[in-house]
């Protein structure tokens, strides 16, 4: 009992600054800046410049700024955002802030979730593979939209987190392990099999939405609620588009929790840190919280055991005599 009281582990977070210094060269950071510029992504380029400054890499900022600023003229920004927002709204995915904003906007108007449900329904009708997770999360999204309206927006963070998970699934940015975790959480909340059976032959998006609401079970919200809330927390610390990218580093609920802590610490630079360090940025070491106390308790227990054995031995000899 004495030993068990001190058998308690704590997680030590990795020293990100030391990992960056030892494992990442300035040339790697510069390569990421160049790639971002070539991909018409000035946001990422500036993010990597910020990473270079945070970890004191000798990057020649002046050589990159003219190229970045050329992508940030009013015309370029307006063109890029309009094109990407429209694409995200229609397709439900995006790899830029505007594209992802378009996808989330569609989900908050129910159009996006209804579109995804109909898309998976068509796959079923055509004998194609149905994506269980997209179907379940789209159904969850329909239910959460209704809750968001009824709650005057208080459920909006949960809805945003759920939509983010669905977009990450569409973009194939969730690991198989994380998908398995989410499928269990989402299918408890939304019975997608019942939904698909009930909508056979249905062609109206509005009727699909009504059936989806009936297949939604709000009593099972807790498990997915925790996950979606963590995802939304990561979004607030970084950005919606960055969250989609960094979710691929999570294989479990513990990984997601560590991602959340990392994002709180490094904010908009989190994506760059993970890109350069990989999942090593989430690595932890388990150490005993009370190592000294545990050793003392173990020693005391051993002494107590020896004393008990000696006493028992003396008692047996006295009985034998």
Give tens-digit pLDDT for 25-53: 999 999 999 999 999 889 999 999 999 99
Q: Which residues contact 152 (CB under 8 A, 6 or more apart)?
A: none
- Residue pair 84/98 in contact (Cβ under 8 Å)? The answer is yes
Axis crossing angle, helix 42-54 with helix 270-277, rounded to the nearest 10: 80
Quick: pLDDT tens for 117-136. Answer: 888 888 888 888 888 889 88
- Comparing CA positions, the residue from 23, 32, 31, 21 lying closest to residue 56 is 21
- Cβ atoms 286, 39 nearer than 8 A: no
Tens digit of each residue's pLDDT (9 = 90 or more) over 82-118 = 888 888 787 777 777 777 888 878 777 778 888 888 8
Task: Give the model's confidence band at 297: pLDDT under 50 very low, under 70 low, under 90 confident, else very high.
Answer: low
pLDDT of residue 6: 45
Q: Is the pLDDT of residue 287 over 50?
A: no
Least confident of 7-16, 124-133, 298-307: 298-307
**What pLDDT is stored for residue 272 in this prediction?**
94
Report d(CA 167, CA 70) in Å as an integer.
Answer: 30
pLDDT at 293 over 60: no
Percent of the chain with pLDDT over 90: 26
Mean pLDDT of 177-189: 88
């Amino acid at each position: 009992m004495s030993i068990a009281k001190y058998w308690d582990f704590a997680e030590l977070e990795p020293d990100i600054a030391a990992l960056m210094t030892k494992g990442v060269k300035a040339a790697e950071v510069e390569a990421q800046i160049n790639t971002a510029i070539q991909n018409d992504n000035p946001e990422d380029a500036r993010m990597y410049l910020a990473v270079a400054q945070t970890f004191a890499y000798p990057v020649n900022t002046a050589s990159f700024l003219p190229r970045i600023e050329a992508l940030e003229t009013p015309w370029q920004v307006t063109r890029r955002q309009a094109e990407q927002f429209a694409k995200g709204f229609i397709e439900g995915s995006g790899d830029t802030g505007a594209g992802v904003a378009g996808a989330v906007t569609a989900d908050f108007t129910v159009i996006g979730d209804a579109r995804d449900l109909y898309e998976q329904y068509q796959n079923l009708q055509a004998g194609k593979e149905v994506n269980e997770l997209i179907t379940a999360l789209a159904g969850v999204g329909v239910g959460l939209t209704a809750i968001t309206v009824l709650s005057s927006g208080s459920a909006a963070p949960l809805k945003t987190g759920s939509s983010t998970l669905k977009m990450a699934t569409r973009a194939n940015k969730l690991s198989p392990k994380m998908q398995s975790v989410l499928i269990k959480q989402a299918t408890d909340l939304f019975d997608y099999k019942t939904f698909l059976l009930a909508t056979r032959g249905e062609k109206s998006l509005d009727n699909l939405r009504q059936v989806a609401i009936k297949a939604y079970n709000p009593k099972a919200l807790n498990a997915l609620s925790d996950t979606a809330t963590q995802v939304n927390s990561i979004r607030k610390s970084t950005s919606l588009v960055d969250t989609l990218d960094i979710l691929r580093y999570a294989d479990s609920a513990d990984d997601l929790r560590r991602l959340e802590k990392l994002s709180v610490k490094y904010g908009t630079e989190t994506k760059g840190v993970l890109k350069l360090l990989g999942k090593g940025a989430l690595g932890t070491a388990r150490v005993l919280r009370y190592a000294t106390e545990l050793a003392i308790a173990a020693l005391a227990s051993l002494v107590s055991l020896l004393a008990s054995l000696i006493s028992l031995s003396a008692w047996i000899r006295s009985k034998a005599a």
